[in-house]
Amino acid sequence: MRYSKVVKFFVILHAEMENEVKHIRISEFNYALPDERIAKFPLAERDSSKLLLYRHGEVSHDVFRNLPEYLPKGALMIFNNTKVIQARLHFRKEATGGPKSTGALIEIFLLEPAEPNDYQVMFTQTSSCSWYCLVGNLKRWKDDTPVLRQTVQIDNRTITLEARRGPVHGTSYRIDFKWDGGISWAELLEAVGEIPIPPYLNRASQESDKTTYQTVYSKIKGSVAAPTAGLHFTERVLKDLDAHGIDREELTLHVGAGTFRPVKSEEISGHEMHTEFIAVKRSTIEKLIAHGGETIAVGTTSVRTIESLYYIGVYLSTHPDATEEDMHVNQWTPYDNNPTMTSVQALQYIQDYLDRHNLDVLKTSTQIIIAPGYKYHIVKMMVTNFHQPQSTLLLLVSAFVNGDWKKIYRYALQNDFRFLSYGDSSLLIP
């Protein structure tokens, strides 16, 4: 009887916590960000950016290249190795007026693969593929012109690319692409696409962005936005991490355009998080277990992936033969139950799953939202940039520093830090 009362107490307590999280008002996470504080371009030297240090409630700052000096020797640091694709395509409709008229410009923004739906397979296609896309100037792409075309010169060959509008898919459209010439979709995007720099930069992308909007360790194509905390790292800093005895691992989360979507509802319960695809190698799981289920995460994308691992492990403990789709972490999964499993136990369930199914990589997706009230399980330190007001990323940071985000952002504003994607960064140690 006494045991059942204790269980009932914790069930009620957790339900109250879940309710509180969903009723967080996004207006409480607002701050004044002058346009001149938004970095429009990166610094010439990535690692010469400022590094804000938040350590156990105390705030100071240094230069990013000195980051390794503040990390405990023997710690594990995890990076997101996703690579930004040139996801913005432009087509011009055929002109229907006089000789000087030009057709409407239609922008197609690639979001995620539709067919084939595997990223690696997608980029090897040589004649056709389909994506879910945002469409700019949609009202000018009328039903009487279902197919758009453009030609491009690649290796002295003229390639014709066609885009056919398909059905609505949520807030996007399925777009079917066809092309000739036998080149891969990856090569074609390199020739016709533009790098999708963030909209808040209020400028057109430039040739330099193809390099500066990628991390030096980017490898796996698929993101439409960079994991920007990683933009500060140079080969010099990576070698210094090694010299300081920091163990390094990588994972892959393909960043979606939803990362820039503002929270428009008054309470976060009304905001639907975007789904992002993740891939984590067996070796990374093994390293996490060897490090006691603790790590330093580089960027909020790594944080979302790593913390999702905990809930995947919890799910596998009762569903050992789950599919990739079954393991998807829903937005409110962390608040729907109150698992008592340790991080090492959860990770062990993932390793056992990979062993049983003879897999080297865990592939699934996450929609996790991390907000004040969330309990971090694996991430113990975080490297991250400074985020937009009223964003889910600011909620994530607030949860990590136990609500102390205003002190951090006030310090950054008062000490001339540069904000957002090309801005400065911070090391957060709660």
Helix spans in 262-404 (H): 282-290, 300-318, 333-336, 343-356, 392-400
pLDDT at 8 over 50: no
Tens-digit pLDDT profile for residues 187-237? 999 999 999 999 889 998 999 999 999 999 999 999 999 999 999 999 999
Mean pLDDT of the 76-93 span? 95
Task: Report how far apart, in Å, the C-alpha atoms of 365 and of each of 24, 170, 223 are.
Answer: 25, 17, 14
| DSSP letters spanning 86-99 | --EEEEEPPP-SST
**Torsion from C-alpha of 131, 134, 139, 142, nearest 10 degrees:** 0
pLDDT at 1 over 50: no
Mean pLDDT of the 71-80 span? 97
**Residue 145 — pLDDT band, cuts 50, 70, 90?**
confident
Third-level CATH fold of 14-83+210-429 = QueA-like (3.40.1780)
Which residues, in sequence order, are bridge partners of residue 309?
Answer: none
pTM of the complete model: 0.90
Q: Which amino acid appears at position 314 of this protein?
A: V
Mean pLDDT of the 288-311 span? 98
pLDDT at 102 over 90: no
User: Which two tokens mark 112?
Assistant: 């995620």
Least confident of 139-148, 179-188, 287-296: 139-148
What pLDDT, on the 0 to 100 scale, is given for residue 78?
Answer: 98
Mean pLDDT of the 288-316 span? 98
Least confident of 202-206, 262-266, 323-327: 262-266
What pLDDT, on the 0 to 100 scale, is given for residue 101?
Answer: 45
User: Cβ(212)–Cβ(224) under 8 Å?
Assistant: no
Instruction: Report which secondary-structure segment, H or E, holds 236.
Output: helix 235-243
Q: Which residue has the tokens 């990576």?
A: 238
Angle at 331 between CA 429 and CA 13, to 5 degrees: 75
Tens-digit pLDDT profile for residues 168-190? 998 899 999 999 988 999 999 99
Least confident of 11-15, 206-210, 329-333, 419-423: 11-15
Q: Which amino acid appears at position 178 of this protein?
A: K
**Cα gap 213→234, rounded to integer Å:** 13
**Cα gap 243→361, rounded to integer Å:** 28
Tens-digit pLDDT profile for residues 265-286? 999 999 989 889 999 999 999 9
Residue ranges covered by each domain of the chain: 14-83+210-429, 87-193
User: Cβ(212)–Cβ(42) under 8 Å?
Assistant: yes
Nearest by Cα to 340 from 304, 377, 379, 296: 377
